[in-house]
Amino acid sequence: MSTSFRVQFVGATGTVTGSKYVVEYGKHKLLIDCGLFQGIKNVRTRNWVELPFSASELSAVLLTHAHIDHSGYLPALMKRGYHGAIYSSRATKALCHVLLPDAGYLQEEDARYANKKKFSKHSPAEPLYTEDDARKVLKQFKGVDYEHVIELEGGLTAQFIPVGHILGACAIRLEYQGKSITFSGDVGRQNDPIMYPPQPLPATDYLVLESTYGNRRHEPLDYEAVIAGIINRTASRGGIVLLPSFAVGRAQLILLIIERLRAQNRIPNIPVYLNSPMAIRATNIFFDLHEQHKLSRDDCDRIDQITTYVKTVEESIELNARKHPSIIISASGMASGGRVLHHLKSLASNPRHSILFLGYQAAGTRGDAMVHGADKIKIHGQYIPVEAEIHNLDSLSSHGDYEEILHWLRQMPATPKHVFITHGEASAADAMRMHVKDELQWPASVPEYLETIELL
């Protein structure tokens, strides 16, 4: 019987998106994460190229968490021939039932809009997958309990270990014939306002570690005071505060902050709109699974009371036409798609308004361009001047910075044989490699795109 055990890095190398790791063990192959590439065009185009493996050969897919850069390629994988099980935590399964159909819908909408306005180079523009494709792949999900060890085909075991970040996020530890490798997924904060801190990892021979903030620390910041200041200044000049937000985790956190600021009379009693069907459904899941995070049922009820949920396209269009001071939270968090684009088209060119980003902005996204001072952005084939007040609260990120991750790693009971640094821009990944090497004295390297490593 073959005893080979190796991993190929098919995504999240040199970028924070497109997470995919092919694990080959004996005669079997499985996939850890199945994310969409996002950001700059030469990275996004990888979503359309042939996979370096056959989807039908996979024996299983395991997800660390529900964010689209970790799960959003699943419907395309199904279209390419994968019809086996997709294992995840139960909360990740619930969130993917929200995120994946929405991702398919948005791709169909973008293709329809591109064809209508004729700004795509492709005629006709086609979505990578549809909402119907996404709903079909949901039937392949199997929920797994935290820390429960499951046995997969071929004698490999898997364990899901909670790591904060968002609801349901886990590291995944694989073991095969006495050798082990753990994939960190995205690692949360030590003192996140909503999520519990990441649980310490068990011993592992190899570790694949994220590095989103590998070269940065989250500076101490009174983010409530900063947000209150932005809202007050904008409202005083009759403007609207637009918050592009990730639908899972960040939208719920910003609603909690706004509710607290209103309760303390630190901001005016202006309308608060959540204009993202995906974020609305994700918020309901947070409410249902309140025992898995720090929000109490009372917190959830208070958030619900101050929020107007914008559900239909007609309501969204009507909201876009309003001129009175208000707060609008809308996906996506990097302004890469969704209803937030229509708000940006109407708000970005007016200096009365403010646009507040809430965390990491991948290279090549509109969010990245705006927080770095772009004077115009391209939306739906046209350039929109940027005159609004632009802010980004990096410290609200749900990713641990390098010091928080090192603190987490120090809790491990043994030193891994090797640490592979992924899920970071090139400079952040190399900085994380140096932190692991110099401060922990652990061997570490940064794999190349499509590199294969034998796990000895």
* Domain range summary for the chain, segments of one domain joined by +: 5-216+398-454, 223-396
| pLDDT value at residue 1 | 53
- CA–CA distance, 68 with 82 (Å, rounded to integer): 18
pLDDT by 10-residue block (mean), the chain, 456 residues: 88 94 97 92 88 96 96 97 98 95 87 76 84 98 97 97 97 97 97 94 98 93 95 97 89 93 97 90 87 88 92 89 93 86 95 94 90 94 95 90 98 98 96 98 97 96
Are 127 and 104 in contact by the 8 Å Cβ rule? The answer is: yes
For domain 5-216+398-454, which architecture applies? 4-Layer Sandwich (3.60)
Pick from 453, 446, 456, 451: which is nearest to 424 by CA? Answer: 446
Amino acid making up residue 68: I
Tokens 């419907």 belong to 75
Q: What is the pTM of this model?
A: 0.90
Fold of 223-396: Rossmann fold (3.40.50)
| pLDDT value at residue 364 | 86
| pLDDT value at residue 24 | 98
| 5-216+398-454 and 223-396 have identical folds | no
Are 384 and 376 in contact by the 8 Å Cβ rule? The answer is: yes
> Alpha carbon 402 to chain centroid distance?
18
| pLDDT value at residue 163 | 98
